[in-house]
């Protein structure tokens, strides 16, 4: 069985909540997801779906797995940087990475910290945030490992 992506490993209700937020705050995104649902078939027309509340569209998108890999990355960034930055703030503070409210300074270039700092940060994230923190760590290991040297080794120690 294939390993689920960090996004798909989130509970469906959490994925629906993320998509609902995105759909209600970005109208162009709403139109894009409606087009995808219509393209998948099933009898719905775009004009039928236009008046639907964002949550209903989000439920259909999640039910049909209509998100692309790029959507998944953007939704995880929305989760960990914009909506619930506490975990990222813990990581950045513990590693000494310059940030503002969990958003990494644009001038910084990866890698953001050395392996020892990454291990300290990962341990702090796991200690303070539990399984949600481990999910965050797996997410950044999957999509941005080069910026966090040694994170894969840290995760291997907790997975064994």
User: With 90 as the cut, is the pLDDT of residue 121 above it?
Assistant: yes
5-22: pLDDT as tens digits: 999 999 999 999 999 999
126-156: pLDDT as tens digits: 999 999 999 999 999 999 999 999 999 999 9
Instruction: Calculate mean pLDDT across residues 61-90.
Output: 96
Reported as a pLDDT band with limits 50, 70 and 90, residue 108 is very high
Instruction: Calculate mean pLDDT across residues 111-116.
Output: 98
Instruction: Calculate mean pLDDT across residues 92-112.
Output: 96
CA-based nearest residue to 139, from 124, 123, 121, 151: 151
Instruction: Calculate mean pLDDT across residues 83-87.
Output: 97
Q: Are 97 and 129 in contact, with CB atoms under 8 Å apart?
A: no
How many other β-carbons are positioned within 10 Å of the β-carbon of residue 150? Answer: 18
Label residue 26 exposed, middle or buried (CB < 10 Å: 0-12, 13-18, 19+). Answer: exposed
User: With 80 as the cut, is the pLDDT of residue 1 above it?
Assistant: no
Residue 145 has a pLDDT of 97
The domain limits of the chain are 12-68, 84-159
Rounded to a whole number of angstroms, the distance between the first and last alpha carbons of the chain is 19
Residue 3 has a pLDDT of 85
């Amino acid at each position: 069985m294939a390993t689920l992506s960090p996004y798909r490993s989130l509970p469906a209700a959490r994925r629906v909540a993320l998509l609902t937020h995105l759909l209600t705050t970005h109208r162009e995104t709403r139109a894009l997801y409606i087009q995808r649902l219509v393209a998948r078939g099933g009898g719905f027309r775009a004009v039928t779906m236009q008046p639907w509340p964002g949550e209903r569209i989000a439920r259909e998108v999640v039910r049909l797995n209509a998100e692309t890999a790029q959507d998944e990355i953007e939704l995880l960034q929305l989760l960990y940087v914009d909506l619930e930055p506490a975990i990222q703030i813990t990581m950045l503070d513990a590693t000494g990475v310059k940030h503002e409210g969990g958003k990494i300074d644009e001038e910084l270039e990866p890698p953001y910290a050395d392996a020892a700092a990454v291990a300290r940060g990962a341990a702090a994230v796991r200690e303070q945030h539990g399984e949600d923190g481990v999910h965050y760590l797996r997410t950044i290991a999957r999509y941005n490992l080069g910026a966090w040297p040694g994170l894969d080794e840290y995760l291997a120690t907790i997975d064994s």
